[in-house]
Structure formats: structure tokens, C-alpha cells
Amino acid sequence: MSRRALFAVLALAPLCPLAAMAQQRQAPVRAPTQESGGGIAVPQPKVDKQFPVGASWTAVSVGGKPLPGERPSMVLDDQLRAKGFSGCNTFSATAYPLAQQGFAVGPIAVTRKACEPALMTSERTFLTALRGARKWDVVEGRLVLTGVAGEIRFERAL
């Protein structure tokens, strides 16, 4: 067997199980629907929402409480990097939208500017809630991050 033929066989070998599985697939069994006269409605499969990557968001509240001063903002870029303003400082972190609307945020890097104590407390609350976010959803055009440290509600920024 020549080297070229051997290479071709080795390169295609991993695809053989996929081809066999594709051949074994059968047409799905369809339940009768109202349109077909059976009277049974079949529920549609749930489609996962897509996280709005690239959209800018401004925080409205954390834990149901409005945020004082200049409101925090955030954008998640296509490199899965969350960047924004946290009320006093700027921040960045790796953030992953997961299956079934899960959400994970890595360690957050923050600049070290000092602000009024009330603003620093608000910023700490926001960043703690962001780091603890485990779920996301878009409800009525607003991004909602929910986690162990509370819920952050965002509105779409321009």
C-alpha cells in the first residue's frame, strides 16, 4: 500500500462511525396533529435563547434596589470578554453564556480608583452579584443576571 493510500485511509477512519450512525437514523415518528385529523397537538421543542453578544447594557438595579450615581454598564464581546464600568472603576472579566441559559463569570479585574464610600459599596455589590451570576435571561428587552449574590437587571444602552 502506498503512503498516499495509507494516509487517506487513516484520515478517513474517524469518519466511518459517523457515516454508520447517519445511515442508521430513521425518519422520526410523527404523532397525529389537529391538522392531520388526529386531534393531538405535539409540543414544539424548546429552542435555547442566544445571549446578546456585542450589546451594551446599563444596570438598573441589583437585588431589587436601584443603583445610586452613575449606573454600571457592561458589554460582552465576541471574545467572551465582559467589559464595563462598575460605578466608580472599570472592569473586565471572562464571561461564558452556557447551555440552558447558564452563565459563568471568571475573576474580575478592576481599576483601583477611590470614590465616595457609598459609591464604593454600591460598586462592590454590583461586582459581587456579577461574579456570582449563574443564569441569564432577556425579559421584555432587559437582560437579567441571576445568581447567589442576587439579581442584576440591565436595560439596553445605546
Q: Cell 424548546 sits at which residue? A: 46
Q: How far apart are CA 143 and CA 135, in angstroms?
A: 11
Residue 144 · residue 62 · CB < 8 Å: no
The model carries a pTM of: 0.69
C-alpha cell at 132: 456570582
Find residue 64's DSSP bridge partners: none
C-alpha cell at 141: 428587552
Question: What pLDDT score does 69 carry?
Answer: 81
Express each pLDDT in 96-123 by its tens digit.
Answer: 999 899 999 999 999 999 999 999 999 9
| pLDDT(88) > 50 | yes
Express each pLDDT in 7-64 by its tens digit.
Answer: 444 444 443 443 333 334 444 444 444 444 556 766 666 667 889 989 999 999 999 9
Phi-psi region of 93 (alpha: psi -120 to 50; beta: other; left: phi over 0): beta
Q: Where are the domains of the chain?
A: 56-156
Find residue 65's DSSP bridge partners: 62
Quote the Cα angle for 119-124-126, to 5°: 95
Which one-letter amino acid corresponds to residue 54? G
Question: What pLDDT score does 41 carry?
Answer: 67
For the chain, how many residues are written?
158
Question: What pLDDT score does 27 carry?
Answer: 42
Question: What pLDDT score does 46 carry?
Answer: 63
For 97, the enclosing helix (H) or strand (E) is strand 90-97
Mean pLDDT within 126-155: 95
Residue 59 · residue 152 · CB < 8 Å: yes
| pLDDT(135) > 50 | yes
Please provide the CATH number assigned to the domain covering 56-156. Answer: 2.40.128.270
